[in-house]
């Protein structure tokens, strides 16, 4: 559901004959005037509750790596979707992520603290973080492990559009098992993101920028991005997390070879 519009604080009462001005309502802690009151409900409340629970329950850790995406950008125009357009970079990354989760299934799981169990999931519902006018939502591609790059591209485009126009369903927003977060579209390079509870990991992608890079002993301009993985330390240690992150990074740096193996 759409978040309710901000409820602006009522204007100050008109001055009476005994006063020349009436001070606006003030915040008791800072003494500053209150500009607006925004009810914490709808999507914003759901996001707040999920993130608060994630921070309270999950002992998370973050690891990251800078990646040379030059060859991937060069290959992308040759990878066309069902509509004839090049598939989105997010769809290519999604394919690498799904393949990585098949090799490191510990990251495609959830923790049941009451039962004292880690539940490993058979199959991937891949969440795609989307910033909308209603707030941050994470619709998921059902059975992403069964889709190729074109299928992933089609579903990601559909879900992103549905998230932004408000037609995404509650099921699509709550069934994810792992999240891919492209915060590079916000113009940032990296982020220590909060895991989308009750998932146990999230892969983030920063913006792609031309940077000096050493190739065969020479400094040359290359297209570099940062991948960051935040993970629940209860389900695995750094070796597993680093292995997954390195798998995706290697696929980005050698996409033709990676796609041939998928």
Question: Which residues are catalytically annotated?
Answer: 233, 237
What residues form DSSP beta bridges with 224?
A: 68, 209
What residues form DSSP beta bridges with 26?
A: 33
Nearest alpha-carbon partner for 195 in 111, 90, 91 = 111
At 201, list the tokens.
Answer: 């990991």
Prior bond to 198 cis, omega within 30?
A: yes
Between strands 201-205 and 178-182, the pairing is parallel
Contact 193, 230 (CB under 8 A): yes
Question: Can you tell me the distance from the alpha carbon of 207 to that of 119, in angstroms, rounded to the nearest whole number?
Answer: 33
CB within 8 Å of 38: residues ≥ 6 apart = 6, 7, 44
Question: Can you tell me the distance from the alpha carbon of 163 to that of 128, in angstroms, rounded to the nearest whole number?
Answer: 10
C-alpha triplet 256, 192, 155: angle, nearest 5° = 45
Tokens 């990296």 correspond to 190
Using DSSP's 3-state secondary structure scheme, residue 182 falls into strand
């Amino acid at each position: 559901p759409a978040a309710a519009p901000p409820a602006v604080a009522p204007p100050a009462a008109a001055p009476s004959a005994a006063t020349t001005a009436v001070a606006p309502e003030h915040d008791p802690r800072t003494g500053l005037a209150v500009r607006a009151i925004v009810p914490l409900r709808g999507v914003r409340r759901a996001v707040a509750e999920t993130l608060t629970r994630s921070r309270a329950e999950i002992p998370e850790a973050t690891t990251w790596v800078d990646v040379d995406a030059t060859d991937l950008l060069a290959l992308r125009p040759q990878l066309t979707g069902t509509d004839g357009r090049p598939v989105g970079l997010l769809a290519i990354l999604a394919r690498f992520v799904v393949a990585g989760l098949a090799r490191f299934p510990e990251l495609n799981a959830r923790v049941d603290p009451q039962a004292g169990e880690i539940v490993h999931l058979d199959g991937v519902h891949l969440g795609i973080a989307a910033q909308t006018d209603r707030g941050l939502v994470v619709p998921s591609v059902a059975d992403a492990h069964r889709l190729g790059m074109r299928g992933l591209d089609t579903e990601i485009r559909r879900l992103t559009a549905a998230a932004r126009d408000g037609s995404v369903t509650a099921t699509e927003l709550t069934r994810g098992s792992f999240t891919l977060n492209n915060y590079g579209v916000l113009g940032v390079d990296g982020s220590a993101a909060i895991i989308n509870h009750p998932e146990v990991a999230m892969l983030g992608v920063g913006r792609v920028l031309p940077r000096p890079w050493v190739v065969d002993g020479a400094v040359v301009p290359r297209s570099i991005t940062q991948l960051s993985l935040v993970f629940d330390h209860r389900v695995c240690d750094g070796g597993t997390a680093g292995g997954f992150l390195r798998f995706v990074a290697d696929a980005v740096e050698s996409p033709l070879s990676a796609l041939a193996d998928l």
